[in-house]
Structure 1
Amino acid sequence: MTNPRKTTTTAETTADTAPTATDDTATAPATAVAGPPLREGQSPEKVVLAHHLVIGGRDYRPGESVHVSPDYARQLRGNGYIARGRG
């Protein structure tokens, strides 16, 4: 059997793996999202927490605002972790 994998030289690998500034800014959201990442086409939702919560190893206190994905906000709302809005 032969090895079908192509070996590349160092010059070829550095040219392929060099990041560009436009790639990083296009994929990075404007705000940091706690919890699960956003799906394609979603925008983060700002919520106010009603109870102490640990998301991704970070403590969030009651009354603190956090940006989360809409799906995660729906889950938190159903479990009672999001403060009720005044209205």
Structure 2
Amino acid sequence: MTTNTTKKPAIAAEDSTASTEARPERTRRALTVVGPPLLSEAQKPVPITLSQHLRIGGADYAPGAEISVSPDYARRLRGQGYVART
């Protein structure tokens, strides 16, 4: 039994460098907020230190990890005992 296959042409070296030059450079990294997003642009994320293991959005955070969350989410985590006392 035979199948028809076609080979894809090799990409020229010039084409691969041209595509990397066309990408814009990132000068400033966006602040990562864990959990629910901020409600408005005026809200500032709150840094908290965790007292217990916490899994948010498929990512695990160990006790002592410092994460940035929205003020509302920080209040909920404090009430549930996830924020370390400082």
What TM-score comes out, normalization by structure 2 length? Answer: 0.64
Moved over 4 A (4+): none
> 1:16-35, aligned counterparts within 5 Å?
30-35=30-35
Q: Which amino acid aligns with 1:66?
A: I
* Unmatched runs of 5 consecutive residues or more in structure 1: 1-20, 22-28
Q: Structure 2: 5+ residue runs without aligned partners? A: 1-23
Shift of 1:31: 1.1
Which residue does the alignment assign to 1:79? 80
Give per-residue Cα distances to partners, 1:25-83, cap 9 Å, x unaligned. Answer: xxxx8410000000112110000000000011100000000000000000000000000
Q: Distance in 2 between matches of 1:44 and 1:30?
A: 12
- Kindly provide the amino acid, as one letter, of the partner of residue 54 in structure 2: L
The structure with the largest alpha-carbon Rg is 2
Paired residues, number: 58
- In structure 2, distance between residues paired with 1:66 and 1:31: 11
Once the two structures are superposed, the pairs formed by residues 1-87 of structure 1 within 5 Å of their partners are 30-40=30-40, 41-85=42-86
Q: RMSD between aligned alpha carbons?
A: 1.5
State the identity %.
55
